[in-house]
Every structure is written in C-alpha cells, then in structure tokens.
Structure 1
Amino acid sequence: MRSQESIYQEALQVATLYYYHGLTTEAIAKEMNFSRPKVSRLLSHARQSGMVEIRIVNVENKLLPLEQSIKDHFGLENVHIVPVPKLLGEMVWLEYVAQYAANYLNEILEPGCTLAVAWGTTISEIAVHLIPKRMPGITIVQMNGSGNTYTPDNRYAANILQKFSENYEASYLLFPVPTFFDYRETKEALFRERSIKKIIETQNNADILLYSVGAVDAGVPSHIYSSGYLEPEDIQSLEEQGVVGDLATVFFRENGTYKDIPINQRASGPSLELYKKAPRAICVVSGRAKIHGLHAALRAGYVKELIVDEPTAHLLWQRMGHSLDDL
C-alpha cells in the first residue's frame, strides 16, 4: 500500500505538469507512465487537498447583468450568483452554493483575521466543502448559542466550528449559552460574565461574518426550525409578529424591524446592527422559501455581500419588481 507521502508527491508532480506547464492528461500519463484515470484521480486529489487553488479572475471587473443590478439596487459590495442544475432540486442547489462559498472563503481569508460563524444548515454544508488551507493566526468564533432543551450537548454547532478550525489550523471560540434563554433576566446576567463578554467582544470585532437567512418553511429546513429549538408557542408568536426570517436566531419582519419582537429579548444572537458595521458581512442563501427573508434583510442593510443560487436570484429580481424578460 502506497504511503500518503508518495501520493502527495505524485499529485504535486502531476498538478505541476498540468497547471504550470500546460500538459494534457494524456501527455502526463505518457511522461510518468501512469494511466489516464490515475492522472485524473491525482489531479482531483490535488484540488481537494488544497494543493491547488482555482480562482476565476474577472479581469475587466464586470459582473453579470443580474449580479450588477442586485448589487446596485441594494448598495452591496459584492454579489455572486451560482449557476445550478435547476431540475435537480434545492438539496443540490445548496451543495453548489456551499462549494462556491467554501472556495470564496479561501480567496478572502487572511492570516490573523477573525471569522464569526452563525451555525445552521447552510453553514454546516459549507463546512463540509471547505478546502484545506493553513492560515496562521485565524480565529473562528460562534455567533450565537446553540444549546436547547433537547440537545444540551451543543455538538451540532461545535462540529461546524471544529471543521472550520481544522481546515484552517485556526483557534476557535464556542459560545456556550442557550440559543434562547427561558428568561430575559438570565440572559442579561450571564452576558455580564467576563468569560462571555470576551466572546461577545470577539464577535463584535470580527473581520468577516458568515451567515444565512433562516426560514421556517424552506425546502431544505433551517436547523433551528427542524430540531426543537422553538416551542409551538414560539412559532405562533413569530407568526403573530409577522416574522419573515432570522439571522443567527434573531428574528425580523418584512420591514427589517426586530428590537420589539419578544423572543429576541431572549435570543443569544447578536444585534442586527452588527451586520451593518462589520467590515464584511457575507450572506449565503439557497432555496426559494428564503426569498422573503432575504429581500427584507437586503432592504434593511443586513447584508454586504451575497452568495445565492441562480433560481433564487431570479425570484429576488422579480420581487424587486422586474420581469425575467428584462434580463
């Protein structure tokens, strides 16, 4: 059985010949006396292990018309629309969007920066598709608590943070509090503790926020709605309050308001003002049911960069008052 070191050296040599010297897989196979399938496997290994980073450089700095229109309309810094196979369903769309977001993170992360992560279904999928890259001095911090009555061990969020940490060889800070406190007074008391205040300070000073929009009826259900974090009376209250979505378990209405929604007084997620002041606030969205929450978050200024699948982007365009024929 070949050692990992020999596989690494073969993959490195194949990748060098392919990407640096422009040889075809057939030429590499002849040069190294390998079969073409073996060359293809080694190239795949080189990409998946982080040995090779593929970047598409927009040399004229032009966006697609739809990307540009969304960017200009909402005053965003960047918009990334991910083409997806429309007929294969939203599970596949999420996978494509997560792969794109994982690649994009490797482009923008810099040594020494702090990445604040809001756990959930979308971020969990991104964690699965991360591409290994050593980034000295990076800190990963959990944005909102994840404990609840049914899953007090916090493993779901912890696994996400651990994957990010291992991928970048980074340190990470868990936020060891409930997703929703039973009492507002308990939250206020705990948030005065120095250990918790340190984590909140790290969240508030993060260089990059990575999050999605939660939706109660999404095709790929948001974890908070599908795993017992909300009681039936909570769901009823959200409906009565006209809630259309949440960011890191802080809920908001169609007009972006959130401060007077009762459950938010007990929520562990950060104030939505954080998304406005953060240097980079990257919202990753996939799925048509999230369109109401996404549109509201965009109008309220809770998004600076958007990564979204193409069908959902088309729905957003229509919600902005346009026809697909205008594209």
Structure 2
Amino acid sequence: MNTKQEKMMRLADVARKYYIEDKKQSDIAKELGVSRPLISRMLTEAKALGLVEITIHDPWQRSAIFLEKLQKRWQIKDAVLQEDLEDDRSTNIMLAETTIGLMEKIGARKIGIGWGHFIGQLVACLEEHPQKDTGIQDIYPLLGNAGVPIRNYHSNENVRVLAENLAATPHFLYLPALPESMEEKKLLCSTELYKQFEKNWYEIDTALVNIGNFPSTPDFASGVRYGNMLQKRGVCGRLLAYYFNEQGEIMDPGQDFAIQAPLEALRHCKAVIGLCSANTSVKALKGALETNLFTHIVARTELVREVLQ
C-alpha cells in the first residue's frame, strides 16, 4: 500500500468514527493520539476528496416526489402526507388537521362524511379547535348509524359535531347502516326519507372516506352479509361499509344490504378524500387506490412510500 492509499484509509477511518460511530472529535483525537484541530481538518479533507457524502432528506421534497408518482399511477389530484410523530395519536391529530386544510384548499362546500377511527379523530380535533370560516355549508352522513357503542361510528352524531364546529348545516339520516336483511333494506330504501337522502348524496362535492383495514374491529357483521366470501376473495380493506381486495375489486354491492351512499354517487363527487390513520396497512391503501374511487389522499409519508415500492 502506497502513501496516498494509507492517507485515504486514515481519513476514511476518522470519518467512520465521527459520522457512523457518532464519536466526538475530541474522543477520536484522544484515541489516535493527535490534536482535535487535526481531526477537524481530516474530516474536512475527507469530504473534499469525496470520501464523505452528506444527504439531507427534505420531507417536503419527498412528498412532492411521492405525489407525482401517485398522480401518474392512480390519477390522484392531490395528497397531504405527514411524517410520523412520536406516537399514533399525535400522528392522527396532525393528519386530521391537514385534512381540514385540504378541504379549504379544494373549496369544499357540501361534505359527505363516512365513519371510522380517523373520522373520530377529525371530530375530536374540531371539538377542541373549531374552525368556522372554512366556507363549508352542508354536512351529510354517507351511511346510516351503526348499532355499536363506539362514537366514531355514530354517523349522525359525527355530522352534528362537525357542523357545529364548522358553522355548517347538518343533515341527518335516520336509518340504520346495517338492516337485518336484504328485504328490510329494500323496504327502508323505498321510503321518501331514503329517496330524498339519496338525491343529497349525488349533490355533495366532497366525500371524506376512511380507508380501514380488514379484518378490523368492529367487523359490522360481514359474516352475515358475505359468509366466507371476503376471505376467499382476499379482501384487505374497507371504505364506508364496502370491502375491497388488493386489486381494487369491491365485493358485490348488489348482495350487500348496508345502507350507504352508492358507489356511483362517490364517483360523481368532485373530490373523494381517502383518509388513512396511523395504523392503515399498506395492503389497505394499495387496494383503495386500485378502486380508482379516490381523487385525494391524506396519509403518512412512510405508508405512501411503502405502497409505491
């Protein structure tokens, strides 16, 4: 080994101790029996010779790159991506706050809102910090109420709280999300109450739809409605009370007796915002994107990175 090679090895060794092993310059100097200023000069020389490359990962730049890829692959118009915070709750709160900003950005006026854990976070966020100058005028539930003691799935209550804290007009659907049978659904959907509300679903301009995992809790009686078909078809996620697989195939809504906004009404919306909480899985988001229902996405940056891989 010649003198130049030996010098490069020494420089690389010092750089490794400082940048990789995270040692202080003074400690490296003491270990090698030299002065601290010499270590500083060696680190500077190591960078000048290309032995050290420093890369700064700008989260805004990364988000812009991911958005471009989402636009090309799934025709997503816009996305709000959030870096992970110290825990899931903090991340969800930040995601909820950015959702409100996104609605203002796209000029939402008539909002349809689904249900789920993220929706609950959004409602709680607005309860603590009302925003009454967003321009939102009307809020409608996208499906009936669930018969479970979890606030996140009480559609009318979520609508009431959101409307109160957004200075909007609430519209309530006094029907269950899950009737006992297809026969009961047909009966309920023949009423004037339902027919009027169905018209409202086709008039909303923005839909907030939680992208949930499957299986999940609560399950919403999927076994009664579908038997074991969901497992056989590889279902990985849920939007409203619809289930889909990784290929974006939505399980036959014709045999489903849930009372919820028709898929055609969602496709009629100017903006369908897919909301991903901190625990939304890669499979669930990928399958949701493959449905081609969503125009906007709110999600963790890392989740989107994994989906794009």
TM-score above 0.5, yes or no: yes
Give the aligned partner of residue 193 of structure 1: 191
Partner of 2:116: 120
- Structure-2 change in CA distance of 1:295 and 1:137 (3 Å): closer
Deviation for aligned residue 1:100: 1.1
Q: Is the 8 A contact 1:147 1:177 kept in 2?
A: no
Q: Distance in 2 between matches of 1:273 and 1:255?
A: 19
Separation in 2 of the partners of 1:304 and 1:230?
29
Secondary structure at the aligned position of 2:154 is classed as helix
Structure 2, unpaired ranges of 5+: 1-61
- Alignment CA distance shift 1:272-1:254 (3 Å): farther
Encode CA deviations 1:119-176: one digit per residue, 9 max, x unaligned: 221111112223422467811000011232x559998333311121112222112222
* CA shift for structure 1 position 275: 2.9
For residues 251-284 of structure 1, the C-alpha deviation after alignment (integer angstroms, 9 at most, x for no partner) is 122222225267x521122233333321111111
Q: Could you tell me which of 314, 319, 322 is aligned with 2:305?
A: 314
Task: Note the C-alpha offset of 1:70.
Answer: 1.6
Percent of paired sites with the same residue:
16
Q: Which amino acid aligns with 1:238?
A: L
d(CA) in 1 for partners of 2:175, 2:151: 11
CA distance in 1 between partners of 2:81 and 2:186 (Å) = 40
Q: Give TM-score, length-normalised by structure 2.
A: 0.70
Indicate the larger mover: 169-178 or 225-234: 225-234
Residues 57-81 of structure 1: CA distance to partner in whole angstroms, max 9, x if unpaired? Answer: xxxxx96112211222111111221
Q: Cα offset for 1:190?
A: 0.9
Secondary structure of residue in 2 paired with 1:209: strand
| Corresponding position of 2:276 | 285
Root mean square deviation of aligned Cα:
2.9
Q: Does 1:251 align with 2:243?
A: yes
CA distance in 2, matches of 1:290, 1:199: 32
Indicate the residue corresponding to 2:64 in structure 1. Answer: 64
Name 1:180's counterpart in structure 2.
Answer: 178
1: CA distance, partners of 2:68 / 2:150: 44
Q: SS of the residue aligned with 2:131?
A: coil
Matches within 5 A, 1:99-110: 99-109=97-107
Q: Which aligned runs of 4 or more in structure 1 are off by greater than 6 angstroms?
A: 152-155
Amino acid of the structure 2 residue aligned with 1:250 = Y
Equivalent in the alignment of 2:292: 301
Query: What letter is aligned with 2:141?
Result: Q
Once structures 1 and 2 are overlaid, which stretch shifts more, 75-84 or 206-215?
A: 75-84
The DSSP-based 3-state class of the residue aligned with 2:175 is coil
Structure 1 distance, partners of 2:101, 2:296, is 15
Distance in 1, matches of 2:115 and 2:253, equals: 22
What's 2:158 paired with?
160
Paired position in structure 2 for 1:78: 78
Quickly say closer, same or farther: Cα 1:207–1:314, change in 2 above 3 A: same
1:215, distance to aligned residue in structure 2 (A):
1.0
The one-letter code matched in structure 2 to 1:240 is K
CA contact (8 A) 1:291 1:316 kept: yes
SS at match of 2:212: coil
Give the match for residue 217 of structure 2.
Answer: 226
Aligned residue in 2 for 1:144: 143
Indicate conservation of the 8 Å contact 1:250/1:271, yes or no: no
Distance 2:253 2:137 in 1: 35
1:266 maps to what in 2? 257
> Which residue is 2:232 aligned to?
240
> Which entry has the higher C-alpha Rg, 1 or 2?
2
- Partners of 1:117 and 1:209 within 8 A in 2: yes
Superposed, which structure 2 residues align to 1:33-52 within 5 Å? none
Tell me if the contact between 2:140 and 2:172 (Cα under 8 Å) persists in the aligned partners. yes
Aligned residues: 245
Cα distance in 1 for residues equivalent to 2:260 and 2:281? 19
